[in-house]
Structure 1
Amino acid sequence: MKKDTSHTLKRAQRFPVILIGEGLLVGAVSGLIVMFYRIALTYAGQWLNEILGYIKGHPVRIIGWFVVLLLLAVVVGRLVKWEPMISGSGIPQVEGEVLGKLTQDWKRVLPAKFIGGFLCLFGGLSLGREGPSIQLGAMGGQGVSRLLDRGKTEERYLMTCGASAGLAAAFHAPLAGMMFALEEIHKGFSVSLLVSVMTSSVTADYICSYIMGIDPVFQFKLDHVLPQNHYWLLLLLGVLLGLMGTLYNKVMIKAQELYKKPKWLNETTRLVIAFLSAGVLGLVMPSVLGSGGDLIVSLTGGEMVLGLVILTFVVKFLFSAVSFGSGAPGGIFFPLLILGALIGGAFAMTASEFLGLDPVYVNNFVLLSMAGFFTAIVRAPITGIILLFEMSGSVSQMLSLAIVSVAAYITATLLRSEPIYESLLNRLLGGQQKGAVRINNGERRSESEKSAGTDTGKSSGYSTSAGGQKVLSEYVIMSGSVLEERTVMEIHWPKNCLLVALERDGKEIIPRGKTKLMAGDRLTVMTDERDAGYIHDKLENLCYTSF
């Protein structure tokens, strides 16, 4: 069925009701997919530990295991070559498609990401389940949309719902799943989207919790609330986390660059390096393998001294760079939380030794540091605070979480560290120019086509190009932007977009040439599918900047 302009507009009027039901369906589908993925990764970790115990002290068995690791690298490399969109975390791919800048095929990505992620964790690579879970969830949403023959606008909403469901099911964190999908994936809010995403997230969490239990991911107790006379330590910790988060982002990006420089390194040989590194560490320091959940148990259980914490952090940090830089299908989300926990543990132990901090507060700093490190790297403070509150089951640390997260956010911002997922998306989009990934179903816009979409005149904003599905996008005019206090006819709108609705104070206004725009106005813009990414960047620039 052709999704023309009239069909898109009529269906958009019923979105608030339609999306609730579809969000429920996507939540169920994506929740089940991610639940099975969690179960598979649990078995992968158990089997890995059994194998490491079995080969310990037996040279022949060790050689046999390294042969298996080589085979795993070859299989995963073939999967990445067959479907390049499964490489890495998966979150930038989802974000890029929701923004209209690239495309994925759910029928290829779902099986390839599932199998690839399982094999990487089975091999011991320092990767997490959350990025793949978000991508798997989003592909579940895309699959539902395609099977129900929905338009592109609706499909992007359902992918956002699926991403939310994926994180909720992966971490038993429905609120964090909802906030991450809105704050990082969709980068926008509307009532219909908020309700549908919340429905999807809660549905996925209910299904997963019903089968796997309701225990929080991090099961350690915080018996004491940090006294306010120690809050100055939180500011120091926040600054440290901002510095370390900036370093983390630079190292992860640099690792990708180093892997791509030698011509002899391809999808498979890069993975061979990562898998063999995992094999070596499995013999000398197995605690750093996998996502690292057991490290939290050891750290919060008082089983690690300061020197061991620092050594573990350094090795885990470098191994994470080796694993992620190789392009292996796996996330950085959970490993970075573990690294944050190690920073917090080391900081608290040092403060206890030299600054008079009572050792009973070490676990508090472990939790706070995870949120701050996440915020410094991802630049999503609300998600970080809610995520750690849900993952730990503790509500007593909200003020402390906010202080550390804000301090880390400010420090990373002042250091001009680009959020990690934005950096990865930009690199992914840069690779598409070389044919590395698909964009807009294989279409590529030439420079002349791109220039046709520039600000060519006041009237150019009132047309859409022929052909392709129509996509609706919403933007909110921020105070101080170039659109504020100017009329519609005074704006140089991007070519091939159409301003179809304007909402102010909950009331819809028909936009006309003399309509004056105000801060807080919500604009609904229609464009063709192939122009959606370009138009998104232009409209965001108009709505959010003052120049």
Structure 2
Amino acid sequence: MLAKDQVINTYRALNNWRSFRLKLFIEGIIIGILSGLIISFFRWSLHLVETNREHIYTFLKNTDWYWTAFWFIALAVIAFTLDRLIKYEPLAAGSGIPQVKGAILGFIKMRWLRILWVKLLAGIIGIGAGLSLGREGPSIQLGAVTAQGLSRLLKRTRLEERYLLTSGASAGLAAAFNAPLAGVIFALEELHRNFSVVVLLPAMAAAMTATVISRFFFGNDTIFDFFGLPFLPLEYYGYVALLSLVVGLAGVVFNAGLLNIPRFYKLFPTPFSKIVFALFCAGILGFVYPQVLGGGNELINNISKTPYTLQALLLLLAGKFIFTMLSYGSGVPGGFFLPMLVIGALTGSVISNIMIALGLLDPFFYSNIIVISMAAFFSASVRAPITGIILIMEMTGSFQHMLVLSIASIVAFIAAELCRSKPIYEELLARSLQSANKNDGSHCERQRNVIELAVCSGSPIDGRLIKEINWPEHTLLVDVKRGESDLIPIGDTRLRAGDFLYVLTDDTLAKDLRKMAEGE
């Protein structure tokens, strides 16, 4: 669609706001159906290959050595395949969440069909081979590119496409973790960065529909088995604050590890050699420490039910942490979302064992500490506490523990802020653009489009007249929506917190405009 047509159609949408929101809601349902089917296939395939991987290592441990040699040759072939796939579509590498975030913000242009099949195939191969990567990042990107494909097929405007990308990402997380509310909140809190009705409705429709599809194939069970989690007495809340502080610092260390692992991989001459190294590490661990392979959701269930010694937990924590760094740093398609929760759970398990040994914690509440630690770790790393609270509640079924999870998430968030640790997905996106020399805006689509801005309380434009604001060049404010009312954007219109602005501008200026509206 030509840029002029894009703008004209965007004006029409703004002038027919109610029908536009209804259309987005219906499209959200379609996205939920398509994303739910694709991600259900992704989950089923991962379960199949991971089950077969366990059988392979059981066979190799009880057979002749040359079968082991053949397996490592197979791992080298897998590394070559992954290397070729990543070179064919670089935006399919890694988690996928920073790429989706960049696409929504207008910094990255994704080729939806190539990413769809490359991410799907490479994710199944890489995670199936044993790398410590999760399905959630790929699922979010798969949902987003599915939505982008629908948008392109229907020739939607770029404003509408960004709403649909958010909806697809919401459906992706919901289907991956059987967590519809977390999918919605993550897409809004972390990716789209506002909670307007026009983005909320399609995101909810997509997430709920994708969850229905996912539950049709996998049932209603939660991802983690913490059924019947007892209430934590109030006298332990002081310990929860201290625990969350320690876990928050652990989240800071986790972020630092992810951001600095590329320094280690500079020792390797080629991308292929990085992947070979990571997969050979997986091959060795498959014989000596198979618990740290893959995403690790079963490991969380095991440590919550099976008594582990403190030494065993420390070894598991160190092994999972190091191998997750090596796996993600190799650049293979796969996320660190689930491994991050596993590391948070292991950190909480270590701390709870120490507390029990010191007589500070009743063993009856051992599992509570694990659940609390996952929420705190997520909040410190991603800096999305609302998502962390809801995600852990949905994944563990602990809906009656919102208060203690909220306390833990807030304390961990503050700990990470005091350490000046940056949100992991934002920093990964920034570094990706910088390393590719795209920070000058050359990676943006460089087209004039209408973008949505939410005016935040205390921002430089809150309470000011439109004519008093120092707008960037080549920027035109075309519409202001205040609740259900449309305001004509004239010079004497005073903007208020909660207003939604629709601005015609070059995508390269979108970041500066968002900073103005949000007060950063």
Q: What's the TM-score bracket when you normalise by the shorter of the two chains?
A: over 0.9
Report 1:84-99 matches (<5 A). Answer: 84-99=90-105
What's the secondary structure of 1:512's corresponding residue?
Answer: coil
Q: Is the counterpart of residue 44 in structure 1 residue 54 in structure 2? A: no
Q: 1:411 aligns with which of 407, 415, 423?
A: 415
Given the alignment of the two structures, is residue 290 of structure 1 paired with residue 264 of structure 2, yes or no?
Answer: no
Please report how far the alpha carbon of residue 513 of structure 1 lies from its aligned counterpart in structure 2 after TM superposition: 1.2
Does the 8 Å contact 1:372/1:404 carry over to 2?
yes
1:489 is aligned to 2:480: no
1:392 maps to what in 2? Answer: 396
The one of 4, 7, 12 equivalent to 1:5 is 7
Counterpart selection for 1:140 from 139, 142, 146: 146
Tell me the SS of whatever aligns to 1:503: strand
Contact 1:344–1:369 (CA under 8 A) maintained in structure 2: yes
Which of 156, 160, 178 is the matching residue for 2:162?
A: 156
- On the 8 A contact 1:103/1:438 being kept in 2, the answer is no
One-letter identity of the residue aligned with 1:10: R
**SS of residue matched to 1:329:** coil
- The 1:200–1:148 alpha-carbon spacing in structure 2 relative to 1, beyond 3 Å, is same
Query: Quick check: 1:219 aligned with 2:219?
Result: no
Structure 1 Cα separation of the partners of residues 153 and 7 of structure 2: 21
**Shift, 1:294, TM fit:** 2.1
CA deviations over 1:380-411 (Å, ceiling 9, x no partner): 11111111111111212111100111000000
Q: Could you tell me whether the CA contact under 8 Å between 1:432 and 1:438 is conserved in 2?
A: no
Could you tell me how far apart the structure 2 residues matched to 1:257 and 1:99 are?
28
Cα-to-partner distance string for 1:427-485 (whole Å, 9 max, x where unaligned): 111133179x99246x7xxxxxxxxxxxxxxxxxxxxxxxx4x5322222222222133
Alignment partner of 1:537 is 2:515: no
Deviates more, 1:120-129 or 1:348-357: 348-357
In structure 2, give the amino acid aligned to 1:420: I
In the aligned structure 2, how far is the partner of 1:515 from the partner of 1:225?
A: 52
Q: Equivalent of 1:347, from 347, 351, 364?
A: 351
Matched residue type, 1:320: T
**Residue 32 (structure 1) aligns with:** 37
| In 1: Cα distance, 2:438 partner to 2:382 partner | 27
Which one-letter code corresponds to 2:517 in the other structure? C
SS at match of 2:453: strand
SS in 2 for 1:397: helix
> How big is the shift at 1:55?
0.4
Aligned-residue sequence identity (percent) comes to 42
1:502 paired residue number: 480
Alpha carbons of 1:484 and 1:396: their partners in 2 closer, same or farther (altered >3 Å)? closer
Q: Give the aligned partner of residue 478 of structure 1.
A: 456
Tell me by how many angstroms 1:179 deviates. 0.5
CA distance in 2, matches of 1:6, 1:519: 28
What SS does structure 2 have at the residue aligned with 1:525?
Answer: strand
Query: 2-side partners of 1:326 and 1:194: how far apart?
Result: 35
SS of the residue 1:526 aligns to: strand
Q: Residue type matched to 1:205 in 2?
A: T
Greater shift after overlay, 370-379 or 502-511? 502-511
- Counterpart secondary structure, 1:327: coil
Residue in 2 aligned with 1:16? 21
Q: What's 1:82 paired with?
A: 88
Number of positions where the alignment pairs a residue of Structure 1 with one of Structure 2: 513
Stretches of 4+ aligned residues off by more than 3 angstroms: none
| Paired amino acid for 2:259 | I
Query: What code does the residue aligned with 1:306 have?
Result: L
- The corresponding residue for 1:307 is 311
Assess, with a 3 A threshold, how the Cα gap between structure 1 residues 4 and 130 changes in structure 2: closer, same or farther: closer
Unaligned runs of 5+ in 1: 444-467
Tell me, in whole angstroms, the C-alpha distance in 2 between the residues paired with 1:377 and 1:234: 18
Whether the 8 Å contact between 2:6 and 2:158 is mirrored in structure 1 is no
Distance 1:355 1:508 in 2: 62
CA distance in 1, matches of 2:353, 2:228: 16
Q: CA deviation at 1:505?
A: 4.5
SS of match in other structure, 2:400: coil
Three-state SS of the structure 2 residue aligned to 1:501 is strand
What is the Cα deviation at residue 497 of structure 1?
Answer: 2.0
- C-alpha distance after superposition, 1:52-107 (max 9, x if no partner): 10101432111111111111111001100110001110000000000000111111
Distance in 2 between residues matched to 1:218 and 1:210, nearest whole Å: 18
Secondary structure in 1 aligned to 2:399? coil
1:523 aligns with 501
- Deviation at residue 188 of structure 1 after TM alignment: 1.4
Instruction: Report the residue type matching 1:41 in the other structure.
Output: L
- Provide, for residues 12-37 of structure 1, a one-character-per-residue CA deviation record: whole Å limited to 9, x for no partner: 33321110110011111111111100
- List gaps (5 residues or longer) in structure 2: none
Once the 2 structures are TM-superposed, how far is the Cα of residue 519 of structure 1 from its aligned partner? Answer: 2.7
Q: Return the offset for 1:265.
A: 2.6
1:146 counterpart letter in structure 2: R
**Contact 2:7–2:450, Cα closer than 8 Å, also in 1:** no
Output aligned runs, 1:258-297, within 5 Å: 258-259=264-265, 261-262=266-267, 264-297=268-301
In structure 1, what residue type is equivalent to 2:161? Answer: E
Match of 2:65 in 1: 59
* 127-136 or 489-498, which deviates more: 489-498
Is contact 2:248–2:377 with CA below 8 Å preserved after alignment? yes
Q: How does the TM-score come out when normalised to structure 1?
A: 0.91
Q: Deviations over 1:339-398 (max 9, x none)?
A: 111111111111111043110101011111111101100001111111111111121211
